[in-house]
Amino acid sequence: MITLTTYEWVPDFAAPLMRALRVRWALEEAGLPYEVRTIALGPEQSSAEHLARQPFGQAPAIEDDGLTLFESGAIALYVAERSETLLPSDPAGRARAIGWVFAALNSVEIAVQPLAEIDLFHAEADWAAARRPQVEAFLRRRLGQLQTALGERPYLEDRFTVGDLMMADVLRILGYTDMLADFPKLAAYLRRCEARPAFQRALAAQLDGFKAAA
């Protein structure tokens, strides 16, 4: 059985956004059983035992039949390989789905994360007021491009894939803002993804785990 390593506890604002959710969601979509191991923030993150799983002392990581794997995107793809729900069987469909995973991480999250870091961690810093408009403008340009690519389709391709899973979870980071109101097709796309039963199960499991540790 797959063992997922995640944090024992995080602050409330971070609980629904921890990247372990991407792994839980993929596992739920694939119908694969898993168990959870938790580590505490602080010294345990830097322990030799945890660094053997995740060289940067972060989470998530998984272990499965002798394989240890870290980085949420890599783990999601590993899980997707075992589920046609997440990864089409035809080579072209698989390639496009994998491409959207990389787009979520390298083209969209790279634009989302700087804004969230400013707003959630550095809002009072002297430099934040000068830097934020540039960061927001870049993000809005990326969101506009993504909305154009989505078009009128319910998902990024002709069906839900691991690419949608990753993209939706990246867009969820913006939940503390009203920015997606300016991109109604993306807002509807995100609601569609979040309505999936597998997402609801994954989110409930993640939040319940953090509540139990609080």
Domain with CATH 1.20.1050.10 in the chain: 91-196
Tens digits of residue pLDDT in 106-131: 999 999 999 999 999 999 999 999 99
- What residues contact 70, with CB distance under 8 A and at least 6 apart? 53, 54, 55, 56, 58, 60, 61, 62
Instruction: Enter the pTM of the model.
Output: 0.96
What is the mean predicted confidence (pLDDT) over 3-25? 95
Q: Give the side-chain half-sphere CA count within 13 A for 24.
A: 27
Closest among 121, 115, 119 to 143, alpha carbons compared: 115
Residue-by-residue DSSP string for 70-89: ESHHHHHHHHHTT-TTTS-S
Separation of alpha carbons 143 and 141, rounded Å? 5
Domain with CATH 3.40.30.10 in the chain: 2-85+198-213
What is the mean predicted confidence (pLDDT) over 147-176? 98
Give pLDDT, residue 211: 85
What is the mean predicted confidence (pLDDT) over 148-153? 98
- Between helix 72-80 and helix 91-103 the angle, nearest 10°, is 160
Closest among 164, 154, 163 to 188, alpha carbons compared: 154
Residue 214: pLDDT band (50, 70, 90) is low
What is the mean predicted confidence (pLDDT) over 81-101? 96
Instruction: Could you please state the CATH topology (level 3) that the domain comprising 2-85+198-213 is classified under.
Output: Glutaredoxin (3.40.30)
Which SS3 state, helix, strand or coil, does residue 123 take? coil
Q: Which two tokens stand for residue 47?
A: 């322990």
Give pLDDT, residue 2: 97
Rg (CA), the chain: 17
Residue 212: pLDDT band (50, 70, 90) is confident
Classify domain 91-196 at the CATH class level: mainly alpha
Q: Residue 209: is its pLDDT beyond 80?
A: yes
Tens digits of residue pLDDT in 37-89: 999 999 999 999 999 999 999 999 999 999 999 999 999 999 999 999 999 99
Tens digits of residue pLDDT in 169-200: 999 999 999 999 999 999 999 999 999 999 99
Ordered strands of the 61-64 beta sheet: 34-39, 2-7, 61-64, 67-70
